[in-house]
Amino acid sequence: MTKIYVIGVGPGSPDYITPIARKVVQNAHLIIGSKRALSLFLEDIKGDILSLTSESIGEAIDYAVESAKIGKIVAILSTGDPGFAGLLRPVLNKTTDSVDVEVIPGISSIQICAARLNMCWDETDLFSFHEGVSYEKKMKLVKAVKEKRDIILLPDPKSFPPKEIARFLINNGISEETTAIVCENLTLPNEKIIIGNLKKILNLDFGPLCVMVVKGFHRIRKFLSCWNDEYVGL
């Protein structure tokens, strides 16, 4: 049976790539990924490279399937973990039972965010707006905040960034004093963690690589990250 590997490449730093991910890439005939993902494996890649963009995902996966069918080992690189707002879903949507899909899990920005904030996240509500920003999903977020749930979410950098999330929550009855945190560029040299509230986040801009936390209760353990000097308290 033909096989495609979907490999989680971690949150950004090469330190968070698993050894098995490197091993699979080293043995692959075709490696598909974004320029940023491919750059993490420059010393491991021996096969052909196909650079991936958001516009070319469907075409690239079709090419991956055809390549696997003729016996090539194909590795598709997915930022973070493929199963959470990653490339696993579009790959599954494009493949049939004749193609075996094997997932090599990676460390996600969600995990790093929880670790940085000392959060036990087994009872945290997770949201991703990377794959669509529907009104229904946004209202589910409002409901979770009103129920005092702790939330970790991936904003959409264009249509639903942190400042617009803060605005939407406030406009739908959530107190502007509700604790809100944005972790930006996690594991990278320019990592930044901003701790404040919805009112503060409403007036800040962030890059595309960020994770947002909304706390159901207003208290959070104050800390200084040993990875950076940025810190904004309540």
What are the pLDDT tens digits along the chain (234 aa)?
A: 579 999 999 999 999 999 999 999 999 999 999 999 999 999 999 999 999 998 999 999 999 999 999 999 999 999 999 999 999 999 999 988 888 999 999 999 999 999 999 999 998 999 999 888 999 999 999 999 999 999 999 999 999 999 999 999 999 999 999 999 999 999 999 999 999 999 999 999 999 999 999 987 645 554 444 334 454 433
Task: Note the pLDDT of residue 20.
Answer: 98
Fold of 109-214: 3.30.950
Three-state DSSP string of the chain? CEEEEEEECECCCHHHCCHHHHHHHHHCCEEEECHHHHHCCCCCCCCEEEECCCCCHHHHHHHHHHHHHCCCCEEEEECECCCCCCCHHHHHHHCCCCEEEEEECCCCHHHHHHHHCCCCCCCCEEEECCCCCCHHHHHHHHHHHHCCCCEEEECECCCECHHHHHHHHHHCCCCCCCEEEEEECCCCCCCEEEEEEHHHHCCCCCCCCEEEEECCCCCCCCCCCCCCCCCCCC
Task: Note the pLDDT of residue 232.
Answer: 41
Count of alpha carbons within 13 Å of 44, Cβ hemisphere only? 23
Task: Note the pLDDT of residue 208.
Answer: 94
**Is 222 within 8 Å of 181 (Cβ atoms)?**
no
Task: Note the pLDDT of residue 105.
Answer: 97
Q: What is the pTM of this model?
A: 0.89
Joined tokens for residue 46: 């021996």
- What length does the chain have? 234
- The domain limits of the chain are 2-104, 109-214
Task: Note the pLDDT of residue 225.
Answer: 40
Render pLDDT for 70-112 as a digit per residue (tens, 0 to 9).
999 999 999 999 999 999 999 999 988 888 999 999 999 999 9
Task: Note the pLDDT of residue 217.
Answer: 60
Q: Which CATH class is domain 2-104?
A: alpha beta
